[in-house]
Amino acid sequence: MTSGAAGRPRLALAGALGLLAGAGLLGILVGGVHLSLPALWSGAGAEGEAARLVASIRLPRVALAALVGAALSLSGAAMQALLKNPLADPFLLGTSGGAAAGAALASLAGISPLLSPAAAFAGAAASSVAVAALARRGGRLDLQRLLLSGLIANAFFSALLLGVFSVASASAARTMLFWMMGSLADASFGKVVALLPWAAAGAAVLLLYAARLNLLAVGEDSAAALGVDTERAKRQVFVAASLLTGAAVAFAGIIGFVGLLVPHAVRAVAGNDQRRLLPICAVSGAALLVAADALSRAVFAPAELPIGAVTATVGAPLFAWMLLREP
């Protein structure tokens, strides 16, 4: 029990960094064409050049996977602490439904697919604002109502999505499917650069609130009595977590299980001090998604599996196993 409550954050951070390095290497080497490390590193002539070319194409995809994985894990960990619920996940609060609906409506309206991340982001923002407004009661953000409002938003948006799906053209339907299953196939450095500031801003706010999240995880009243402006803290954390989720969904679609699985696993090793948990979650989430993406390209190469299917296929049994071995 002792190690369960206090944890070993240094070990966990070292492990996560190691995993991220390994996953990054895997992400560059495997895929439709498998590369060898020597050819990539010191290969001369056509073989080495080809290897470096393939690697340079894969690099933005690895970077995007890392950013998206980090954003989803951070968002999940923060929502779990805020809602005092280990089952909270970034997609629980309606952000993802809003994003998918935004992208779907844009493609239905014939707006260029280049703008669909912006449409998805707008949908995520609109949904988050609506959910927060619905959850307000007597001037306070009621956390129980927040969960229910998220549920309502997701139900509404998935109905909307199905409606759009049934009348959409083949190409629009394909775009929507991309959002619903998650994909990193269209990764580019441009997308990485576009995602980075949003992800960094969300992460910075959450890290700033890490110590207060520790107090909130014991209880709202308890935190307020220790001097935390709880209304402000709840609002800021909700906005930052929604920002991270919305940005991730805008560029990669809905990728489930990462935000649920990673914080749970990291907590088991590193303990529940948010000041350490959050950075370790970011690194571990990045590693997990990079590895899952490599897997999605390698298993049925040259065909690709949808990344959302991979994370759920790997994540669900892993989660079940963790659940079973808990005391």
Partner 1 sequence: MSPDASSGTPRIETRGLRALYGRTEALSGLDARIPAGEIVAILGENGSGKSTLLKVLARIRPPSGGEILLDGAPLLSQPRRETARRVAYVPQSVELVFPIRALDLVLQGRAPHARGFSADSPEDRARALDAMKACDVLDLAERDASALSGGETRRVFLARAVAQEAEIWLLDEPTAGLDPRHRLEFLDVLRRRHLESRRTVLLVTHEVDLAARIADGVLLLRRGRTLASGPPDAVLTVDNLRRAFDVEFREGPAGLQAAALPDRPPVVR
Using CB under 8 A as the criterion, which residues of the chain lie in contact with partner 1 when the complex forms?
1-2, 4-6, 81, 84-86, 138, 208, 210-212, 214-215, 217-222, 224-229, 267, 271-273, 275
Q: With respect to partner 1, which residue has the nearer C-beta, 32 or 219?
A: 219
Q: Phi, psi (5° rounding) for residue 103?
A: -65, -40
Q: With respect to partner 1, which residue has the nearer C-beta, 39 or 135?
A: 135
Question: How many whole angstroms separate alpha carbon 169 and alpha carbon 156?
Answer: 22
Q: With respect to partner 1, which residue has the nearer C-beta, 63 or 241?
A: 241
Q: CB 266 → partner 1: shortest distance, Å?
A: 12
Q: With respect to partner 1, which residue has the nearer C-beta, 58 or 267?
A: 267
Q: CB 271 → partner 1: shortest distance, Å?
A: 8
Q: With respect to partner 1, which residue has the nearer C-beta, 117 or 271?
A: 271
Which helix (DSSP H) or strand (DSSP E) does residue 49 occupy? helix 45-83
Torsion of CA 215, 219, 224, 227, to 10 degrees: -20
Contact between 40 and 304 under an 8 Å Cβ cutoff? The reply is no
Q: With respect to partner 1, which residue has the nearer C-beta, 11 or 57?
A: 11
Burial label for 47, CB within 10 Å (0-12, 13-18, 19+), is: middle
Q: With respect to partner 1, which residue has the nearer C-beta, 26 or 203?
A: 203
Spatial CB neighbours of 147, under 8 Å, sequence gap ≥ 6: 83, 85, 88, 92, 93
Q: CB 312 → partner 1: shortest distance, Å?
A: 25
Q: CB 269 → partner 1: shortest distance, Å?
A: 12
Spatial CB neighbours of 161, under 8 Å, sequence gap ≥ 6: 97, 100, 101, 104, 176, 180
Strand partners, 140: 137
Question: How many whole angstroms separate alpha carbon 184 and alpha carbon 163?
Answer: 25
Question: How many whole angstroms separate alpha carbon 63 and alpha carbon 31?
Answer: 15
CA distance to 62, 92, 119, 151, 194, per residue, from 89 (Å): 23, 5, 22, 12, 24
Q: CB 226 → partner 1: shortest distance, Å?
A: 5
Question: How many whole angstroms separate alpha carbon 129 and alpha carbon 151?
Answer: 14
Q: CB 327 → partner 1: shortest distance, Å?
A: 10
Q: CB 268 → partner 1: shortest distance, Å?
A: 10
